[in-house]
Amino acid sequence: MSLKIWMDGKFVDKADAKVSVYDHGLLYGDGVFEGMRVYNGKLFEAEWHFRRLYESAKAIRLTIPYLPEHLKAATDETFKLNKFTDCYIRLLVTRGVGNLGLSPAKCETPSVVIIADLIELYPKEMYEKGMPIITASVIRNHPNALSPRIKSLNYLNNIMAKIEAIDANCPEAVMLNHEGNVSECTADNIFIVKNGIVFTPTTYDGILEGVTRKVVIELCKKHGISCIEKTLQKHDLYVADEFFLTGSGAEVIPVTKIDGRVVGNGTPGPISKRLIEAFHAHVRA
């Protein structure tokens, strides 16, 4: 059965799901998006995802032409129509069709697309044994250029960092901020463990506040694990006892090598494994 894509209030076959070449989302990356998970037939952390979507849109002065509850209902309908009980959702809002000029005033109506599909970012064995990553030369957006807290369609700096990772035969890359401190990876938030304490960069460090990141912080509290949001430097990553990443697509995945340096003893650490198990139990519940 062909996947059905929700586009501006209508379902179309995947092969027919097309946007205009004059859409400013295509021409200029002008728009916002969310990546969400469905577990056991339920949209995971829906409230937080939709809150971030609408805040991102507001920050770029884009008015989404649907109320959050209407988009939530459309999202539910999309994955159910495609007979998914566990899947990945990509919901995107573009500025809409305009002309070849930059001005968004020429775009009459924003366009909204909801895709439900399967996703596998990393090989299964990396979740068990950990993965190698590098530090990219490309930094996160300067907050005075475009706030990294906006989940925009313009991911070019992340893509360039991802290319560096691929060149190094690694699946991910750490991105630093304009001050040289640790921000996040190209698509994942960063956590390290040192002396039994979990650390993760703050919003001041140029991160996108990940929903899975939020859940892991809550799980730390629930399981009596100390978790501190703190500015980190590359040195902290190099000397960490444990290291893991979080993201809606990636979920929770351990890192066992960075820039050629082995993390801990080279295998996923006990706190990382405990939190991975806690996350899986949480989503199943």
How far is it, in rounded angstroms, from Cα 245 to Cα 213? 9
Sign of dihedral through CA atoms 175, 176, 177, 181? positive
How far is it, in rounded angstroms, from Cα 272 to Cα 250? 14
Q: What is the pLDDT of residue 285?
A: 83
Q: What is the pLDDT of residue 121?
A: 84
pLDDT tens sequence across 10-26: 999 999 999 999 999 99
Q: Interior CA angle at 232 toward 226 and 146, to 5°?
A: 115
pLDDT tens sequence across 228-256: 999 999 999 999 999 999 999 999 999 99
Residue 284 has pLDDT above 90, yes or no: no
59: region left, alpha or beta (phi > 0 left; psi from -120 to 50 alpha):
alpha
The 3-state secondary structure of 118-134, one letter per residue: CCCCCCHHHHHHCEEEE
Q: What is the pLDDT of residue 193?
A: 98
Residue 159 has pLDDT above 80, yes or no: yes
DSSP state of 72: H
Q: Is 257 a catalytic residue?
A: no
**Site of tokens 């930059």:** 102
For strands 111-117 and 4-7, give the pairing: antiparallel
pLDDT tens sequence across 164-183: 999 999 999 999 999 999 99
Q: Indicate which residue of 151, 194, 234, 273 is catalytic.
A: 151
For strands 87-94 and 42-43, give the pairing: unpaired
pLDDT tens sequence across 84-142: 999 999 999 999 999 999 999 999 999 999 999 999 889 999 999 999 999 999 999 99
Q: Which tokens is 191 given?
A: 């956590």
Residue 28 has pLDDT above 90, yes or no: yes
Q: Assign 261 a pLDDT band (cuts: 50, 70, 90).
A: very high
Closest CA to 246 of 281, 205, 207, 285: 207
* CB-based contacts of 234, cutoff 8 Å, min separation 6: 135, 174, 176, 182, 259
Q: What is the pLDDT of residue 267?
A: 97
Residue 1 has pLDDT above 80, yes or no: no
Ordered by where they begin, the domains of the chain are 4-117 (3.30.470.10), 124-284 (3.20.10.10)
Greatest pairwise CA separation for the chain in angstroms: 57
How far is it, in rounded angstroms, from Cα 222 to Cα 109? 44
- Average pLDDT of 40-47? 97
Percent of the chain at pLDDT exceeding 70: 100
